[in-house]
Structure 1
Amino acid sequence: MRRSAPRSFGRSRRCTTTRRSRCPEVRSIQVGLSGDAVRRYVGEWITSLEDVTAEMQRIRDLAVESPEAAEAELPRERPYPITDELAAQIAATAGAPIQT
């Protein structure tokens, strides 16, 4: 019998810098796709790709001098809209209000 790895929800904090500085708060979620969703994701849902390496390197360098200024350069995190019922099912905090 094959057992699957345990699933976990929560915050991901990963910060690698050469100097000690305050890491910005980082949150992430990983979602697995299979079957038709993979084909549609690759063939239809991705509309463009943009290389942001240089911009992230600039922000990383800025963080050495001013973590607050660097954090202000990052995109604003927005809550994903979910119902209270779904939030309770997946043990998540309530998301943004769902617009109808």
Structure 2
Amino acid sequence: MVIEATGKGGTSTRGREDATGKAMFQMLGVFSEFERAMIRERVNAGLARTKANDKTLSRPKSKVSEEKAIQATLAGGIGIILKTAKKHSVGTSFV
């Protein structure tokens, strides 16, 4: 692999063609698999801890009364989503 971007010549034996380059790629693969496994273990431990504490992982449920009030506002003539969202202090995606 010739370095041409800097204008200086040189070669590297770190390609996948030689034994050193092949070993380097294999070690990088091993470390990336190890890192991914560690992340997976931490995530699963956190999920198990949350489940053991009887906590929910989803968004809080919206109140039916709030939904009906928004529907009434929209039906009552304020058809603009942004104004309705501001009036009820919710996001536009909720409206």
Structure of higher CA gyration radius: 2
Superposition TM-score tier, normalisation by shorter sequence: under 0.3
- Higher share of residues assigned helix: 2
RCO higher in structure (CA 8 A, sep ≥6) = 1
Instruction: Report the TM-score, using the length of structure 1 for normalisation.
Output: 0.21
